[in-house]
Amino acid sequence: MIISDLISDLTSMLPDSHVEEKSSPNQFFGNDGDIIISPKTENDIAAVLHYANENNKKMNIAGNGTKRGFGGTENKADILLSLSDYKGIIEHTVGDMTITVKPGTPFQELQDYLSTHNQKISLDPSHPEEATIGGVIAANDSGPKRLGYGSARDHVIGLRMAYPNGEIIRSGGKVVKNVAGYDMNKLFVGSMGTLGVVTEIVLKLRPLPKYESLMLLTFEKESKEEIRSFAVQFLDSMMEPVSMELLNPELAEKLTGQKVLTLAIAFEDVESSVHYQEEFVKNMKSGASQMTILAQQEAKEFWKRFNYLFPNGQREQNGLAAEAVVKVGVKNLDVIQILKESDWLEDAHNVSVHAHGGLGHGLCQVHLQGAQDDIIKAIDSLRKTVKQLNGYAVIKHLPLALRQVIDVWGGKPSYFFLLEGIKTKIDPKKTLNPKRYVGGL
Amino acid sequence: MSMKEKDVVQEPPCTSESLSNYLWKDKPDEDKWADCVHCGMCLEACPTYELTGQEQHSPRGRVHLIKSVADGKLEVNEQFMDPVFACLDCKACTTACPADVDVGGLIEEARGQIRQAMPLTGWRGAVSKFFLHRLFPHPGRLQSAGNLLKLYQKSGIQTAVRKTGLLKMMPEHLATMETVMLEVKQSVRKKYHKEEVVKAKGETKNEVAFLTGCVMDVMFSDINDSTVNVLTRNGNDVAIPKKQTCCGALHVHAGDRDMGRKLAKQNIEAFEDADTVVANAAGCGCMLTEYPELFREEEIEWRERAEKFADKVVDVSKYLHDSGYEKPKAEINTKLTYHDACHLAHGQGVRQEPRDILLDIPGVEMVQMPNADRCCGSAGIYNITNPEMADGVLESKMENVPEEVEMISMGNPGCMLQMAMGVEKYGRNEKVVHTIQLLDWAYQKEDKQRGQT
Amino acid sequence: MLRKKGLKTHDKHIKKLAAIVGPKEILFHKEELISYESDGFTIHSHMPKAVVFPTNTEEVAEVVKYCSDNDLPFLARGAGTGLSGGAIPLNGEVIISLVKMKRLLSVDLENRRAVVEPGYVNLKLTNSISDKGYYYAPDPSSQYCCTIGGNVAENAGGAHCLKYGVTTNHILGLEVVTPTGKIMEIGHDGIPDAPGYDLLGILTGSEGTLGIVTKITVRILKNPEEKQTVLAYFDDVADGSQAVSDIVSAGIVPAALEMMDKIAIEGVESAAFPVGHPKDIEALLLIEVDGISAGINEQINEILDVCKKRNVRSVKVAQDDEERAKWWANRKTGFGAMGTISPDYLVQDGVIPRSTLPEVLKRIGEISKESGLRIANIFHAGDGNLHPLILFDSRIPGQTDKALEAGSACLQACADAGGSITGEHGVGIEKREEMRFVFSDKEIEAQTDIREVFNPHYLLNAGKLFPSPGRCAEVKKELKAAE
């Protein structure tokens, strides 16, 4: 079928959706389509899926495209389904602290609306202005406040999914506690759009903290032992930081102007409690040479800048230089070792490295910039270290050309047959986001 | 081939209404199991479940078995007997149960059925008959058994037995037991046999009657001695009714409820005139409070008297605690731990009083024993009838005895014997003492010091 | 007395299973098995074929493999405290009891995790790390005896999950024996966000139908610096439930927010752990706030204000740990305590959006009247998780059925209010049909599809969780498969 036929087929089928040919598919990040469809209703979404599935068309799904560089080895599929027009709040029950939204809603838009009710979604994903809630859920994204906030999987209480065959399947519900049947929400959160298209998301909310602050600690000697012993001592206290993020000197420089290993500790609570915890840190024998406290708005602005440090799939690059963002998972305190390792990568592979990692949960992000070959080598070498620590390294952002030569997911787990079985059951024709996920699912 | 959804059995809720297989008198009480909702809160409290992990050896499992016989699903047979008799009667489940299900009562009733259905034969029958019918109900005979024991200890045969390695020929658990047999002294009943009432030292404030207990009075006579000393020192006239007999706990635990009733009636009569009946053996004291249960279906005309009697019974530690006692002035410098006898803690709800008494003795430092109210495995004569299980229970008990203590204090002779065995078996060297003994020693030391000055 | 006799059986499967786990670790006599005919849900019962007690993962895998190869239905069981019948051997299963796999394998305080075997009792974990100031957050009321393996199967909640989340939020890794006998490790070393579909998430709460968990890595938390507990008595249920909404709306996230109504109070007060609640109040709230000491009083004062605004009769703050423990023991033994005021009870487990609390409670009152059965309410009001306890006497013909009907009607009321049929007890056998209140045939099929991936021969814990195919799509599927 030629593209124009496809367009006319779909246009007549979907009066409410915008359908057009994509003149120049995204060569740099891929995951594009010959035609782009932007539906405005769930019916249309289901209809497109049904059509594609019946006619053996492949389909990529996108929100605003911030994760275009995350997974996938193909330049384009037949169709790119864009959810950026499918947005808005469906229901917000203030007293129940739950909200139902459409997937194309930009994350920050939601937070801004909720803040008028003194509520929030307890998540801090990157690029919140552009990233859609659907994308955040599909990638199970979380930010530097993961320690206190948890991840997307902890906040989604209900979903409506359009299955590849066009059926609408609900999972979970509108209540915060629910064990009726399998916890299908969990299956869909983080599935990178390979099982279905999210058409509705129910999230549980938290009250906005009454006060927040951020402490920045720098360590003169920058010794691993010093930071480790401070972290162990602090984590063993009864303080309740929402973030304990270690920033490598290059990253710290971008945020604070000082090129030195920095520990960012965030508190959110009533004001008296936040100050009490600040005092606690001050009174600890931390070995820190400098302590800066940013309160309220200053802290908010710091985190805002933080969330825009790394590149996203909306931005293309030129030339031979490339950027990569690697998500590393290790045991909590091994984060220190990963950060040290990142510094070493800089020298060994001639790349620039910005990295941070949470001491309370073990997740790190390593941003690499340099020549394509060097980036591949740096990632390989980072993966060796990670493997020794029993962890994993997933590349969250990488140009298509490089994704075609390196497995962004880092191989198949022993239980791959289960993952494959799930994919095959739900999407037997491999219609959705082809080859985007682990093991080429 | 695989199972298809349609093959899956979808049974209607069960509504079986069948004939009970309890065919003898004094049946397990339906109301008792009706309270059990099978929630499982009892599981972790039960030492035999801890050991076996098997539900039939758990309180709710046993209740379910007993109910199943009544429902006609099971019969009273050997396989039913196993779990019912493996119960230690420790009553920890009663404490744990949110609905206060009287598991112990059910077990004893079920044992009654089993014994009527399958009277004991062979050596077990003979041994049981000897102890339960010929010996315990007759203080005089026990006295002479005690005499025998005394003879055994004094004559040098004991030393000979121990030295010659004859011990090795005895079954292991009996051998261990022998090594801890206490030195038998003169019993209290014999000592005070001429007196109706042992008068208080100084002014009489209260009158109490004292249950001397059969084993206690012979094998642990010094504890009884201490009890009389402590009571009289604190202004109590102590009556020791001559007609009193064995409490019957061992009989009832063994399912011999007829004998239990006979002994109960004798005790009820013997203590008819007393307002307060003091016991220093938790097992006996607990049994006395449970007499009404024996007359639930049989000889119900005794029920009211049994209830009245039960209300008068109190453990010596609680009695002293409530009626007031003189705090000793002499120091006993020791580090000790306290073991909750099941029939004191779970059976009579006495936990804090003995601890308070111990802490009132100057110089005593108490170390908390984890799971202090876990059964030691003695459970009457359980350690003789179920040695394997009793050993397992004892082992886990001994693991909880803190390393650094010199003494283990408790309020029950059965426990004392068992714990002494534990000390012996696991190469420990703690001294096993009765709470009241320690108080008495402090008084004696005080008197001695006063005498010297 | 432990059975010492040798294996007297001619059943080849029993002999083979005994060879795997050892002759002392298998039960097969009727008298031994009858205790396994039900779990904490007693309305259904069925005898198992045998009970085996493996002591390590390899034995579990071998037993599973044997059963799978020989078409023997099987299921896993922990302490058997489940309230929806998930461990009842409906098809005469071989029960794989995991109570002998009860070790605490490791504790890593620095990285805040512990590894336990599935038979390890929930509360023991907290007890074993409490001296260092740590605890394990999920605290189902049965935590004294329920196992963490069972908690994973049921995605157990508890009074304190309002703030800290349920079991699934605390599981970092699992070792699982699949229904065909393969041993899988998911979430290596407890590192979060392992690449791939969230199998930890789907396994947790799958009620033992997708695999048998043999090792669990859990997150442990540091004790809160301070804890305050408030007990408030109300003369009107509506005031009490309004106070619940107000507290949450004030931006407070209590660690726990529990409610009991008059009949429930009658039950707990006549049971083993009475507190001395007045007999004539209509509702009580038990509210716990924890966190940094410097911020607690502010929150407590706010809660007291809210209660006063909502016409509280009296309200007090626990003076010490002992008083707090007393209040909690009273609350946590609430279900079992119903035994003292009724021979039988059926506990339901609906969840509703918090704002619909007053109307749903009213509806439950009507259901009680219609059925002629008393219904007590004990519930986690903070997260809208209701536990109507339907009191009945199974010895009276017809009452069991009436109770079941009333229970189902309560769940219908919850579903109608936009809620769910179960918040923490699971579907099991009990609520299979009620699944239709919240899911369409296709949605149920979407779930059984996942089961087929894990449990292809459908020998593991069959007949649970999903309604029997009658009119639903599964029949069509069955027919298709048969073709």
ipTM: 0.96
A170 backbone dihedrals φ, ψ, rounded to 5°: -95, 145
**DSSP per-residue letters across A416-428:** HHHHHHHHHHH-T
Across chain C, mean pLDDT equals: 92
Give Cα A2 distance to the centre of its chain.
Answer: 36
CA atoms of A141 and A152, how far apart (whole Å): 6
Any idea which residue has 């506990």 for tokens? C347
Q: Where in chain C is the domain with CATH 3.30.70.2740?
A: 342-431
- Residue B11: what pLDDT? 45
Find the mean pLDDT for residues C240-257. Answer: 91
CA atoms of C345 and B99, how far apart (whole Å): 12
Give a three-class secondary structure readout of chain B.
Answer: CCCCHHHCCCCCCCCCCCCCCCCCCCCCCHHHHHCCCCCCCCHHHCHHHHHHCCHHHCHHHHHHHHHHHHCCCCCCCHHHHHHHHHCCCCCHHHHHCCCCCCHHHHHHHHHHHHHHHCCCCHHHHHHHHHHHHHHCCCHHHHHHHHHHHHHHHHCCHHHHHHHHCHHHHCCHHHHHHHHHCCCCCCCHHHHCCCCCEECCCCCCCEEEEEECCHHHHHHCHHHHHHHHHHHHHCCEEEECCCCCCCCCHHHHHCCCHHHHHHHHHHHHHHCCCCCCEEECCHHHHHHHHCHHHHCCCCCHHHHHHHHHHHHHEEEHHHHHHHHCCCCCCCCCCEEEEECCCHHHHHHHCCCHHHHHHHHHCCCEEECCCCCCCCCCCCCCCHHHHCHHHHHHHHHHHHHHCCCCCCEEEECCHHHHHHHHHHHHHCCCCCEEEEHHHHHHHHHHHHHHHHHHC
Q: Name every residue whose Cβ is closer than 8 Å to that of residue A121 and which is 6 or more positions away in sequence.
A: A99, A107, A110, A111, A114, A133, A155, A203, A205, A206
pTM for this model (two decimals) = 0.92
CA atoms of B85 and A322, how far apart (whole Å): 77
Q: A-contacting residues of C 53-72, CB under 8 Å?
A: none
- Residue B14: what pLDDT? 41
Please say whether the beta carbons of C20 and C67 come within 8 A. Answer: no
CA atoms of B107 and B101, how far apart (whole Å): 11
| CB contacts, 8 Å: C404 with chain B | 13
Q: A-contacting residues of C 82-121, CB under 8 Å?
A: 108-112
Across chain B, mean pLDDT equals: 84
- Residue B167: what pLDDT? 41
Nearest chain C Cα distance for residue B57, angstroms: 9
Determine contact: C100 vs chain B, CB below 8 A. Answer: yes
The structure tokens listed for A222 are 């920058």
User: Of A329, A335, A314, which is closest to residue A410 (Cα–Cα)?
Assistant: A329
pLDDT tens column, C212-221? 999 999 999 9
What DSSP element (H or E) covers A403?
A: helix A400-403
User: Of C84, C83, C115, which is closest to residue C101 (Cα–Cα)?
Assistant: C115
pLDDT tens column, B12-29? 444 444 478 898 888 898
| pLDDT exceeds 80 at position B290 | yes
The structure tokens listed for C85 are 């019948």
| CB contacts, 8 Å: C71 with chain B | 1-3
Any idea which residue has 């203030």 for tokens? A94
Higher pLDDT, A136 or B153: A136
Higher pLDDT, A344 or B9: A344
| Pairwise CB contact (< 8 Å): B101 & C71 | no
Determine contact: C440 vs chain B, CB below 8 A. Answer: no
Determine contact: C47 vs chain B, CB below 8 A. Answer: no
pLDDT tier for residue B168 given thresholds of 50, 70 and 90? very low
Topology (CATH level 3) of domain C104-222? 3.30.465
% of chain B at pLDDT higher than 70: 81
Give Cα A137 distance to the centre of its chain.
Answer: 8
The structure tokens listed for C184 are 């899988």
| pLDDT exceeds 80 at position C394 | yes
Topology (CATH level 3) of domain C224-333? Alpha-Beta Plaits (3.30.70)
pLDDT tier for residue B380 given thresholds of 50, 70 and 90? low
Q: Say how many C-beta atoms besides its own lie within 10 A of residue A42's C-beta.
A: 16
Domains with residue ranges and CATH for chain B: 32-117 (1.10.1060.10), 128-180 (no CATH), 188-322 (3.40.50), 329-452 (3.40.50)
Q: C-contacting residues of B 309-368, CB under 8 Å?
A: none
| pLDDT exceeds 70 at position B124 | no
Determine contact: C350 vs chain B, CB below 8 A. Answer: no
Using DSSP's 3-state secondary structure scheme, residue A437 falls into coil
A317 backbone dihedrals φ, ψ, rounded to 5°: -120, 165
- Residue A319: what pLDDT? 65
Please say whether the beta carbons of C360 and C352 come within 8 A. Answer: yes
| Pairwise CB contact (< 8 Å): C249 & A95 | yes
Secondary-structure breakdown of chain A: helix, strand, coil percentages, each rounded to the nearest 5: 35, 25, 40
CA atoms of C59 and C40, how far apart (whole Å): 26
User: A interface mutation test: which of C115, C193, C258 has the most A CBs within 10 A?
Assistant: C193
Higher pLDDT, C291 or B98: C291
Please say whether the beta carbons of A96 and C353 come within 8 A. Answer: yes
- Residue C9: what pLDDT? 85
% of chain C at pLDDT higher than 90: 83
| pLDDT exceeds 60 at position B441 | yes
| pLDDT exceeds 90 at position C314 | yes
Please say whether the beta carbons of A48 and A14 come within 8 A. Answer: yes
| Cα atoms found within 13 Å of the Cα of residue A210, Cβ hemisphere only | 14
User: Of C379, C396, C144, C375, which is closest to residue C272 (Cα–Cα)?
Assistant: C144
pLDDT tier for residue B173 given thresholds of 50, 70 and 90? very low
Q: Name every residue whose Cβ is closer than 8 Å to that of residue A331 and which is 6 or more positions away in sequence.
A: A362, A389, A390, A391, C108, C111, C189, C190, C191
CA atoms of B259 and B263, how far apart (whole Å): 6
Give Cα C398 distance to the centre of its chain.
Answer: 28
Tell me the CA end-to-end span of chain C in Å, nearest whole number: 54
- Residue A23: what pLDDT? 80
Q: Say how many C-beta atoms besides its own lie within 10 A of residue B362's C-beta.
A: 14
CA atoms of A121 and A208, how far apart (whole Å): 9
% of chain C at pLDDT higher than 70: 96
Topology (CATH level 3) of domain C12-97? 3.30.43
- Residue C479: what pLDDT? 52
Burial class (CB in 10 A: 0-12, 13-18, 19+), A349: buried
Question: Mean pLDDT for each consecutive 10-residue tract of chain A (441 residues)?
Answer: 85 86 85 94 95 96 95 95 96 94 98 97 96 97 95 96 97 94 97 97 95 92 83 94 95 94 95 96 83 95 95 76 94 94 90 95 95 94 95 96 95 96 97 96 93
User: C interface mutation test: which of B2, B4, B39, B62 has the most C CBs within 10 A?
Assistant: B39
Burial class (CB in 10 A: 0-12, 13-18, 19+), B416: buried
Topology (CATH level 3) of domain C342-431? Alpha-Beta Plaits (3.30.70)
Q: Where in chain C is the domain with CATH 3.30.465.10?
A: 104-222
pLDDT tens column, B260-282? 999 999 999 999 999 999 999 99
% of chain B at pLDDT higher than 90: 55
| CB contacts, 8 Å: A419 with chain C | 196-197, 199
| pLDDT exceeds 70 at position B171 | no
Q: C-contacting residues of A 264-303, CB under 8 Å?
A: 269-270, 272-273, 275-277
The structure tokens listed for A190 are 């983080």
C47 backbone dihedrals φ, ψ, rounded to 5°: -80, 140
- Residue B151: what pLDDT? 46
Please say whether the beta carbons of B248 and B283 come within 8 A. Answer: no
- Residue A186: what pLDDT? 97
Q: Say how many C-beta atoms besides its own lie within 10 A of residue B2's C-beta.
A: 13
User: Of B448, B443, B423, which is closest to residue B180 (Cα–Cα)?
Assistant: B423
- Residue C230: what pLDDT? 96
Determine contact: C2 vs chain B, CB below 8 A. Answer: yes
pLDDT tier for residue B179 given thresholds of 50, 70 and 90? low
| Cα atoms found within 13 Å of the Cα of residue B439, Cβ hemisphere only | 32
Higher pLDDT, A370 or B383: A370
Weakest-pLDDT range from A311-320, B244-253, C246-255: A311-320
CB nearest C1 (choices: B4, B35, B386): B386
Weakest-pLDDT range from A15-29, C11-25, C43-57, C180-194: A15-29
| CA distances (Å), origin A320, targets A25, A371, A373, B319, C292 | 20, 6, 9, 92, 52
CA atoms of B332 and B355, how far apart (whole Å): 15
- Residue B12: what pLDDT? 45
- Burial of C278-290, coded b for 16+ CB within 10 Å and e otherwise, reads eeebbbbbbbbbb
User: Of B71, B137, B149, B83, which is closest to residue B114 (Cα–Cα)?
Assistant: B83
Q: Where in chain C is the domain with CATH 3.30.43.10?
A: 12-97
Domains with residue ranges and CATH for chain A: 16-85 (3.30.43.10), 89-207 (3.30.465.10), 211-306 (3.30.70.2190), 321-403 (3.30.70.1130)
pLDDT tens column, B302-322? 999 999 999 999 999 999 999
Please say whether the beta carbons of A396 and A312 come within 8 A. Answer: no
- Residue B146: what pLDDT? 56
| CB contacts, 8 Å: C440 with chain A | 170
pLDDT tier for residue C471 given thresholds of 50, 70 and 90? very low
pLDDT tier for residue B145 given thresholds of 50, 70 and 90? low
Q: Say how many C-beta atoms besides its own lie within 10 A of residue C266's C-beta.
A: 19
The residue count for chain B: 453
- Residue C223: what pLDDT? 95
User: Of C334, C409, C396, C340, which is closest to residue C369 (Cα–Cα)?
Assistant: C409
User: Of C241, C230, C224, C339, which is closest to residue C293 (Cα–Cα)?
Assistant: C224
Determine contact: B86 vs chain C, CB below 8 A. Answer: yes
pLDDT tens column, C265-274? 999 998 888 9
Any idea which residue has 């049981």 for tokens? B128
CA atoms of C457 and C481, how far apart (whole Å): 13
Please say whether the beta carbons of C123 and C328 come within 8 A. Answer: no
CA atoms of C333 and B37, how far apart (whole Å): 12
Using DSSP's 3-state secondary structure scheme, residue A171 falls into strand
A: neighbours with 3+ CB pairs under 8 Å? C
The structure tokens listed for B283 are 């097992």
